[in-house]
Chain A
């Protein structure tokens, strides 16, 4: 199997190290003095009610939003100082597909591959489409795909450049059972190869089953979930 993760060489710092992170929107403090550390090769499930700040936390970790206070290290680089390097090392699946409806699946991935300066974007795009069982839809425009297929393509876009850290915001939402199984297999392989995953989900059973560690975001803080602290799966 072709390696999906481009692991950085040298000393292995935590994939994520957050200290004293605060973020507010107007008067509303969403994240307060939050600490979080995620080691490389681990899978963290992030639970929380709607509006708890899960998406905000992921946006800060991906460099899309700035923290009001605190320090954020992602993939060994501090944010926002080394945002460009961080963007090269992370893959993000958000609520939106981040895909162009009038481009085909292959064209979308090749476009993003070129922006990531991949050596052979076409070959890597085809390989990634195959990994997500979308190779038969390569020349199909995104607007003609089903919601689940679009979601799988969004995941393909996120892993195309073989990042070391995947930030997934409810990636399983809207997927059928086969696609969920496909995603589970992909994420299992991902962490087995040393990649790190942070996934938000409302499905606590699934999150606990997939992840090595599960935490809850509530009142702006991270709370460890002892009951679902799961053994690392083989």
Chain B
């Protein structure tokens, strides 16, 4: 177990170091997210009441697309530099490799959300800085990063990966995104924690069990 966690930590540390030096994921994703918030803000000019009604959909569209860029880039970087082949030649467990990559994407997405949530809150005039939204964001991001990492690993080995990832990934992640939108709407209407949250937790648990197993099977060849 210690070795397993050690491998996960080594992989995350490596990815954080690479990102700190290249900044090619966080900067592009942040710019994209902020641009979406700015465009919707100018286009809709929402009043506080309208903002609370529109914010869940706008927020999760922006986070879904920025999350897709994040999970894709983490694997594309491995593929471009041959690192994935290098990782698979080590005795490191496939589960640990998968969870290391998923955890990296999860951390990157949380970092982006920590910047985007206050920005969306200000630009859409919606109170997005609440405990209900924070729990929703963490649960949705965990599931998104886990399943996204698996599909990214599949898509990165195909020629048309930019097309393959959304086509394969979004139909399966849709229930979790619907849960995130509903739960965010519930929190913004002052209802606190939504009944969607346990369901999102179940999705996360399912993805965390199935995805590492599927990754191991896919990476066999």
Contacts and interface: CB of A to CB of B under 8 A. Distances in A.
B39 interface: no
Contacts of A102: 17-18, 21-22
Main secondary structure of the interface of B (DSSP, over half): helix
A64 B81 contact: no
Contacts of A66: 220-221
Contacts of B160: none
B220 A80 contact: yes
Main secondary structure of the interface of A (DSSP, over half): loop
Nearest to A87: B91
A115 B22 contact: no
Contacts of B114: none
A109 B85 CA distance: 15
B217 to A, nearest CB: 12
Contacts of B83: 98-100
Contacts of A49: none
Interface string B75-95: 000000111011111111100
Interface string A100-114: 111100010001101
Contacts of A87: 89-91
A140 to B, nearest CB: 13
Interface string B154-170: 00000000000000000
A116 B91 contact: yes
B220 A157 contact: no
A225 interface: no
B99 to A, nearest CB: 14
Interface of B: 3, 6-7, 10, 14, 17-18, 21-22, 81-83, 85-93, 220-221
Given A64-B85, A87-B89, A98-B86, 12 more contacts: A64-B88, A64-B221, A65-B221, A66-B221, A87-B91, A94-B85, A96-B85, A97-B82, A99-B86, A111-B10, A112-B86, A115-B91
Instruction: Give 3 nearest A-B pairs by CB, closest first.
Output: A98-B86, A96-B82, A115-B90
